[in-house]
Amino acid sequence: MIKYFICLIVIMACSNLHAQNIQDFKTKNSANQKERTAMLDLLRAKMKKSLKIECSYVVEHFKVSSNYAWMKGTAQRKDGKPLELNPDLDLDCCMVTCLFKKVHGSWQIEEEGYFGTDVWYEGIGNRYPDAQQGIFPSYEIYYNGN
């Protein structure tokens, strides 16, 4: 009986070692301010380079765990005016999504999408099996497909 009890304790301890802490970066606070701002600045710079748009984000979802983070938000102009998109581009304003990965202690963008007309991230959880499922808002779209 004691052997079974010890075995149970060992199993529980091992499962806790594999559990990953999920942090919510949706709202900026003193604990996440530096890291959150750096991550969003990466996305802002990449978006500015490809679309020639400077913006800020209204963050709807931003979860971080270990070396991965998933952000979903709405882009807006820094001055609060509506974004003016090139009508020649097939863009659907203003959703922005991004998968970040920490490499050698620094965050980088693995995949991102802005103003998409499709769900580019379908199956992204399958493409990045090391990303903890809990960073994504729902299971179905992020793990089905692909």
**Four-way CATH pick for 22-143: 3.10.450, 3.30.2320, 1.10.3470, 2.60.120:** 3.10.450
What pLDDT, on a 0 to 100 scale, did the predictor assign at position 2? 63
What pLDDT, on a 0 to 100 scale, did the predictor assign at position 131? 95
What pLDDT, on a 0 to 100 scale, did the predictor assign at position 1? 55
Output DSSP code: residue 81: P
The whole model's pTM is what?
A: 0.80
pLDDT in tens, the chain (146 residues): 565 444 334 444 444 444 569 999 999 999 999 999 999 999 999 999 988 888 899 999 999 999 999 999 999 988 877 787 777 777 778 889 999 999 999 999 999 998 877 788 889 999 999 999 999 987 667 777 54
What pLDDT, on a 0 to 100 scale, did the predictor assign at position 15? 40
- Of 68, 80, 72, residue with least CA distance to 108: 68
Strands (E), the chain: 22-24, 56-65, 68-76, 95-103, 106-114
What pLDDT, on a 0 to 100 scale, did the predictor assign at position 140? 66
What pLDDT, on a 0 to 100 scale, did the predictor assign at position 89? 72
> Which of 56-86 are b and which e, b meaning 16 or more Cβ less than 10 Å from the residue's Cβ?
ebebeebbbbebbbbbbbebbeeeeeeeebe
Whether cis (ω within 30° of 0) applies to the bond prior to 94 is yes
